Structure formats: C-alpha cells, structure tokens
Amino acid sequence: MTPVVPSQPATPISQIPDKSAAQAKPIVVIAKYTDSCWTLVTADGKEVYEGIPKIGETLTWEARGNLSLELGNASGVEITYNGQSLGKMGEKGEVIKKNFTNTTKP
C-alpha cells in the first residue's frame, strides 16, 4: 500500500504584467509660435514636421520613445512638455536642438 501524502496548496504564480500597461506614457510637446521660427521635428526616428509655422499657430507632436526638436529662432516659440511649460527655449536667432524622452525632466 502506498502512503498518501497530503498535497500542499500551490504557491500562486505572480501575474505577468500587461505589456500595454507597462509601457511609458507618450511624449507630448506643444509649440506656440510667437515669432517666425524654422522648426524640424523628429518623432521616434521619423521626420514628422519641417517648416515655418505662422505666428500665433500652436502645433502638437507626440512620440513613444524620443522626440527631437530643432528650432531656428529659439525665442520665437514657447514649449510645453507633457503638460509643463518650459517657456522660450533660447535667445532671438539662436538655433537649438532639444531631445525629449520618457525620462526627460522638465
């Protein structure tokens, strides 16, 4: 006769996290143009905008991992990054390049 060993309750396996929930929030950059400013925007490695918006125009771009912004007149645009105003990015006529990622601190 084989002895019967009482079974122990199974240890629960931790749930596998849902990949969509684990993904970081998107990067959102809003540009409000107060002066003429050449602009180049690259989102996740793809050029998504190149031009000179009209004064008073507001443009919004979104990316998952990286958003690169090049401005030909840094004082001509006010930037908002993920809801936080960064103001003007530089001086009149100053050319700047700014990279935004999910870990960029405003």
Which 3 state secondary structure label does DSSP give 40?
strand
Return the sign of the alpha-carbon dihedral for residues 45, 83, 31, 20.
Answer: positive
pLDDT in tens, 42-94: 999 999 999 999 999 999 999 999 999 999 999 999 999 999 999 999 999 99
Tens-place pLDDT, residues 15-43 = 444 444 346 789 999 999 999 999 999 99
Spell out the domain ranges in the chain.
Answer: 25-101
Closest alpha carbon to 87 in 64, 71, 65, 66? 71
Cβ distance 97 to 72 under 8 Å? no
CA–centroid distance for 83 within its chain:
11
Does this model's pTM top 0.85? My answer is: no
